[in-house]
Chain A
Amino acid sequence: DTGVSQDPRHKITKRGQNVTFRCDPISEHNRLYWYRQTLGQGPEFLTYFQNEAQLEKSRLLSDRFSAERPKGSFSTLEIQRTEQGDSAMYLCASSLLTGGNYEQYFGPGTRLTVT
């Protein structure tokens, strides 16, 4: 257990529905990242926050995806009008941007299946 939690662990939804995932990072970590991972691939960067500010968003991320990190604590990732191609594992990670601590600590992921 890395200390990063994600909820739910699994989500099955029908195409066209909206879904929201939550990530709770390690409490003192100021950076929070979202990745998407499909079978046979490494984690693909989606977006990241430093405290409550969203600093970068992947160009691959469509307008159907939005993420927030209110108050610089937990974060939510929402996917609107889900498509079958959104089926993947969604990973959250956090890190502490001081003292060379650039490694990321990952949560267990949320597996999304769009039917």
Chain B
Amino acid sequence: AQSVAQPEDQVNVAEGNPLTVKCTYSVSGNPYLFWYVQYPNRGLQFLLKYITGDNLVKGSYGFEAEFNKSQTSFHLKKPSALVSDSALYFCAVRPNTNAGKSTFGDGTTLTVKP
């Protein structure tokens, strides 16, 4: 069975500082990995994905994530946080097959303080 762990319920950073939101996963075979963001009273929005190739993937709003196969991790990062980045972030995994089922973590609330 596949699973995702987001070990931190909450991450607090000061504006302008780098941020990291952690994600580890378990899946049979090679993974497809995703980050989604949920702003208050808004639906989930796709941020970025790892499918294959370069382990460092770049996405929307200046976010990036690094796929580490040996550590089964896919941490979300941004060099300089903005107050507007404050939101709920979800990591998701699915196997690299035609199976459509994705498994989501329980989310990490990011708060960026001015």
The smallest C-beta distance from B65 to any residue of chain A, in angstroms, reads: 13
Within 8 A of A (CB), among B54-108: 90, 92, 94, 98-107
Chain B residues, CB < 8 A from A106: 36, 43-45
The smallest C-beta distance from A45 to any residue of chain B, in angstroms, reads: 5
> Which residue from A31, A41, A103, A107 sits with its C-beta under 8 Å from B43?
A107
Chain B residues, CB < 8 A from A41: 106-107
Q: Find the residue from B92, B94, B104 having the highest chain A CB count within 10 A.
A: B104
> Which residue from A42, A48, A50 sits with its C-beta under 8 Å from B105?
A42
Number of interface residues of B (CB under 8 A): 25
A105 to B34, CA, bound (A): 12
The smallest C-beta distance from A69 to any residue of chain B, in angstroms, reads: 13
Q: Is the CB of A102 within 8 A of B94?
A: yes
Number of interface residues of A (CB under 8 A): 28
A102 to B94, CA, bound (A): 9
Q: Can you name the residue of chain A whose Cβ is closest to the Cβ of B59?
A: A103
Given contacts A106-B43, A109-B43, contact A43 B101 (CB under 8 A): no
> Which residue from B36, B45, B100, B105 sits with its C-beta under 8 Å from A33?
B100
The smallest C-beta distance from B31 to any residue of chain A, in angstroms, reads: 11
Q: Is the CB of A42 within 8 A of B100?
A: no
The smallest C-beta distance from A47 to any residue of chain B, in angstroms, reads: 9
The interface bits of chain A over 86-109 (1 if a CB of B lies within 8 angstroms of the residue's CB, else 0) are 000001010101001011111111
